[in-house]
Each structure stands twice: as structure tokens, then as C-alpha cells.
Structure 1
């Protein structure tokens, strides 16, 4: 009898311990927890500001709402030309509250709205983004290049409630456009890949290779710096997989900036041109080698072979 009681006691204690372990694992794996998400973050950013006290975050990023006025009323190319925003060349965290960042109010996304962070990215650097929502939202990286740019078209859709701006505001009219032409009437993310929808935490990285001009390697192109918008979306946009509005959200954004080892720009042109040049040069070399060996054989001395008579 005592053996049975001991057996059941051990079994009961084991079950309680197993439940406790599973509960702890479930709590520790909650993706909505900021602490657990950032614990294994790929962004190697200092926990406190390491910027100089004379540096101003507003010189490197501009935070606002699409179509709200100020910075966001003009084409992004104007910012680059006027030099309003400096290229982002150092790490940052929107949760910093000391030093140069003591007056920064953080990032908020109001219910049924969006917040945009404008920045200038430059070639030769790798940018790793780590973004943590207090709830769930959408993340889009949009280019500010072009007229209109993808961010301009996104802003147009965002303001559709105020005025009808054409197909972007009318789903039926958009459906009437052939699929192959539809990209001209809507917005797409940078490289058609940096869209992260219905997430609570997301990491991704971007590296800018060049300005896009085929002559930039020779010094004939414009500025290689490009304007981008990190859009934190909390409203129901036209994308089918986006998150529906779920209230106000606070967002932590970490950006890790690293130097990127790249080959010279002229390398690509040399590799592309090597194949057609080799098709011309290699046959010439083979022909020259074959022809020279034939001349050497003809110029050799004649060898006399003894003649043997029969019988």
C-alpha cells in the first residue's frame, strides 16, 4: 500500500512539474513580448545613445504621417537635392532617451492610421532593421525615387477618404485595368519584397548597391544616395494580407548600420564583357598557335632515309 502511495505521489509531482515547464516555455515564446523579441535581436545597437551631443536626430530621420504636411507634402527627390536629410551612417534606436535623443518622443501609430520614417540610405552600407510593435501591424519599405514615387502613390491611397484620386481609390476601376499594367496604378515595396504584414516583430536588412544609373561608375550619374520611407501601417490598405486596425500602437525601431564589403562597380561590366571578348580572342590565339606550329614544321631540315634494295 505504501508503495502505491509513493508511486502516485511521484507521478503527481512529475505531472505538476511538466505543466510548470510547458507553461514557462509558452510564456517565454510569446512573440508579442518586446523583451523576448529583442533578446535575440540581430541589431547590434547600443542600449543608450552613443551619438554626439551636438548631433540632431531630425537631421537624419523625419517622422510623420502620410499627407500630414511639412516634409511629406513634397516629392522625395526635393529632400535629397536640398540636403534637408543627411545620409544615415550610424546606428539608432527610437527608444533612446538620453544625450542627443533626450527630446525624441518615440514612435506611435494611431488607430486606423500610419506613421512614416523618412531616411536617406547610401551605397556601401548594410542596414538591418528590427521593428517591434506593441500589438500587430504592417511594415513596408517604399522608395522615394521617381515622379510619382511609390511612397507618393501610397500617400494618395491613404488620403482616398478625403478625395477620389482614381483607380487607387476605386477597387472596381482597378480591377478593370489589365494585370500587367496594374503596377503603374498602385504602389509596390522596394524590390517588390520588403512587405511584412500582420507582424508583431520583424527583422530585415537592405543594402543599396548603386544609384541605378548605368553611367554612375564613371562619374556621370547623379547622387548615389536614395530616399526611403519606412512605413508602419495600422489601417486597412488595399493589400489583401494586411492587418486590420487594432487600436493605438507604440513601435520600437532599431537600425544597425554596417560597412559592406563590395567589389568595384566596374567589375560587373568586366564580367559581362568578358564572354563576348573571349569568343573573339580565344579563336585568334588558337589560330595563331596552329599557324605558327605549321610554319615551324615546314622550315625544318630534310632528313635522308637510307634506301635498301631487294635481294
Structure 2
């Protein structure tokens, strides 16, 4: 699946759409639920969220995943901050299913989130002073060949077997080289 998203602002005095920067995120169900909670906390009348958000704003992006108050995007790469337009492709090798001892098996849906609020991530665009419009196109691409996950383990086993077998064969030939009888 290929997604193409272009952002526009309100009409300017010439009747043209003004370019505006916004954010686009691809999320699974659980990630979207955390995003909804962050949005609710940021827009509620309680002031405690701003203090925690400011405290955690300087963390490195790779550490945000372990933040109990924050949210991340699918595979950490489908987060596009402060862009006018974005195009990205997604290829799934299997269905997104999460398993838990307590809740069993849960299927994950995907959400394409377009936002223009200060979501707490560093480097995001400022909130525009106009309406935000987005042209979204989702194009289904033909399924490409995907190797099964067991192929990685098979290749590693063959490489490790070769690392053991090649020295053994060389040693065997070397040790047998002086055992042949020579006629004089």
C-alpha cells in the first residue's frame, strides 16, 4: 500500500491554497489508543500533562518508546513531522497480531493520523493559524515476493555449518597428505 498525503491551508487573497506544515503518522490499534490518551490529556482542563510533556520533550527519539505517557508510530519510521507533503509505502509480510497471556490474540488495525496540534514530539510543526486540508491517496500495490521468516534462520545455519565444515575438510586433507606411500 502506498500513501500520498498533501497538506493545504486556507485560501489566500489570490484564491490559491496556502501551503501549511502538518504531521502524518501511521499507527496500529494500540499505538492509536495511546495517541488518543495523549490528545485527551493535552486538551483537558487538568494542567499536569504540560509539566510532564515539557519534562520529557528533550528525550532522544529512541527512548520515547519506553515512555509510559507517550506514543510512537508503526515501526518508528512512519512519523513525518513538519511536512507539506509525504509519500510512503508499507509492505506487510504477515498480519499484525499481538498476543498476550492475559488477553489472548488481538488483531491490529492501521490508522493514518493527520494532526496539527503540538503533540509533544520534538521537531513537529507549529499549529497553523488556518484550517488544515489534506489530500490523501491510498494506492494498492501488487504484492511482491516476501521470503518466509524461517529463511533467515536457514541461511545462518548453513553459514555456521560451512564455518565448521570448511576447516574440518582442510585439516583432513592436510593430515592425509603425508600418509601416501612414495615409490623410489
Q: Give the structure-1-normalised TM-score.
A: 0.43
Offset of residue 255 of structure 1? 1.5
Offset of residue 201 of structure 1? 2.0
Partner of 1:232: 114
**Runs of 4+ in structure 1 displaced over 4 angstroms?**
163-169, 175-182, 210-213
Structure 1 or 2: larger strand share?
Answer: 2
- Whether 1:171 and 2:45 are equivalent positions in the alignment is no
Offset of residue 173 of structure 1? 4.9
Within 5 Å, give how 1:235-274 maps onto structure 2.
Answer: 235-243=117-125, 244-258=127-141, 259-274=143-158
Asked if structure 2 preserves the Cα contact closer than 8 Å seen for 1:168 and 1:174, the reply is no
Offset of residue 240 of structure 1? 3.0
What CA distance in whole angstroms lies between the structure 2 residues aligned with 1:285 and 1:260? 40
How has the CA–CA distance of structure 1 residues 266 and 165 changed in structure 2, closer, same or farther, with 3 Å as cutoff? farther
- Three-state SS of the structure 2 residue aligned to 1:133 is strand
Coordinate RMSD, CA, aligned: 3.4
What is the aligned counterpart of 1:156 among 18, 37, 49?
37
What CA distance in whole angstroms lies between the structure 2 residues aligned with 1:232 and 1:179? 20
What CA distance in whole angstroms lies between the structure 2 residues aligned with 1:271 and 1:163? 56
Unpaired runs of 5+ residues, structure 1, are: 1-126, 214-221, 304-311
Question: Which has more radius of gyration?
Answer: 1
Asked if structure 2 preserves the Cα contact closer than 8 Å seen for 1:143 and 1:150, the reply is yes
Offset of residue 153 of structure 1? 1.9
What CA distance in whole angstroms lies between the structure 2 residues aligned with 1:174 and 1:183? 12
What CA distance in whole angstroms lies between the structure 1 residues aligned with 2:57 and 2:81? 22
Offset of residue 169 of structure 1? 6.9
Offset of residue 184 of structure 1? 1.9
Q: Give the structure-2-normalised TM-score.
A: 0.68
- Three-state SS of the structure 2 residue aligned to 1:240 is coil
Unpaired runs of 5+ residues, structure 2, are: 10-19, 98-104
- Three-state SS of the structure 2 residue aligned to 1:261 is coil
Asked if structure 2 preserves the Cα contact closer than 8 Å seen for 1:234 and 1:246, the reply is no
Within 5 Å, give how 1:1-311 maps onto structure 2.
Answer: 127-135=1-9, 136=20, 137-144=22-29, 149-160=30-41, 161-162=43-44, 170-174=52-56, 182-185=64-67, 186-210=70-94, 226-243=108-125, 244-258=127-141, 259-295=143-179, 297-298=180-181, 302-303=183-184
- Three-state SS of the structure 2 residue aligned to 1:270 is helix
